[in-house]
Amino acid sequence: MRLIEGDARRLPGVEPATVDLVVTSPPYPMIPQWDAQFAGLGAPSFASMHDRLEEAWAAVHRVLVPGGLLAINIGDALRTGPEDGFRLWPNHAEVLARCTRIGFRPLPYLLWKKPMNRPNAYLGSGFLPPNAYVTLDCEFILLFRKGDLRRFPPNDPRRSASRYTRPERDAWFSQIWEVRAARQRNGRGERTGAFPPEIPHRLIRMFSVVGDTVLDPFAGTGTTLREARRLGRSAIGVELRAELVRELEREFRVPAEGPRAPAAPAPDAPVPRGPRGRGT
């Protein structure tokens, strides 16, 4: 297990072509929870937020082995922009296009459908057409490969030790996953954006073998790292926020590597500058 306090756009200390699988969920552009962090990176608009994320996807491309896989959990946003009015901000389409442009090969993606406690919470105008809108109750898990398939020697014992069962295969390789969301607040009452362990559990079992190295460049509360370790994979976590890194150090009992990043604002912190939710 390695913890790195640093920026996903640089992945300091992660050597080229050393990571077999990346499982991650970045801050979502146009979701108010992440405005302060994007503003801290000089990114107030949809396009500039994706410019910053694209730098991270390029860094991930560099550290993946040939044939390595990238799984990105991301949701779209609904928000009023000053010029556009109320509209959808299709984060999944932007990440798909940008990762493809970087050189990743896109694969069929997954739709993570979260069972809702209040299924009609956002319908808008009761039962009268035409102004209601469809609930955003799915997130995306975008899947990419770097180049051609990974090659293994015949009868590789690591590969057979990593076998999934037929029921697992049938459920996991179909496109819609119904998985309940994780608790969204930590002990300090902050929203974490954590995904439930079931999401990285499935992805790690589907797309890596025992002994592989799994990276989460936006490690957060460490859900991917915890699952990777439990499944006999080596884990590398990169996280910008020092308080989160200190918590990961305490849990995993490993000192984080530097270089230390400048302090990153907490989610929900006041936005230092620039308009909120501009859509350029």
Least CB distance to ligand SAM at residue 226 (A)? 9
Encoding tokens for residue 263?
């302090």
Please pick, from the candidates 68, 75, 81, 193, the single residue that binds ligand SAM as defined by CB under 6 A: 193
By CB under 6 A, is residue 221 in contact with ligand SAM? yes
Residue type present at position 6: G
Main-chain phi, psi angles of 169, to 5 degrees: -60, -45
Using CA atoms, how far apart are residues 188 and 174, in angstroms rounded to an integer? 37
Least CB distance to ligand SAM at residue 132 (A)? 29
By CB under 6 A, is residue 194 in contact with ligand SAM? yes
Q: How many residues bind ligand SAM (CB under 6 A)?
A: 21
By CB under 6 A, is residue 205 in contact with ligand SAM? no
- Please tell me whether the peptide bond between 12 and the residue prior to it is cis, using omega within 30 degrees of 0: no
Least CB distance to ligand SAM at residue 63 (A)? 14
By CB under 6 A, is residue 27 in contact with ligand SAM? yes
Q: Which is nearer to ligand SAM, 78 or 182 (CB)?
A: 182
Q: Are 61 and 12 in contact (CB under 8 A)?
A: no
By CB under 6 A, is residue 201 in contact with ligand SAM? no
Judged by CB under 6 A, the stretch of 77-85, 112-120, 140-148, 239-247 that binds ligand SAM is 239-247
Residue type present at position 185: R
| H/E element, 163 | none
Give CA separation, 207 vs 92, 118, 144, 172, in Å. Answer: 20, 34, 11, 11
Least CB distance to ligand SAM at residue 195 (A)? 5
Contacts of 216 (CB under 8 A, 6+ apart): 22, 23, 24, 200, 222, 224, 225, 235, 236, 237, 238
Judged by CB under 6 A, the stretch of 96-104, 138-146, 192-200, 250-258 that binds ligand SAM is 192-200
By CB under 6 A, is residue 91 in contact with ligand SAM? no
Question: Can you give the length of the chain in residues?
Answer: 280
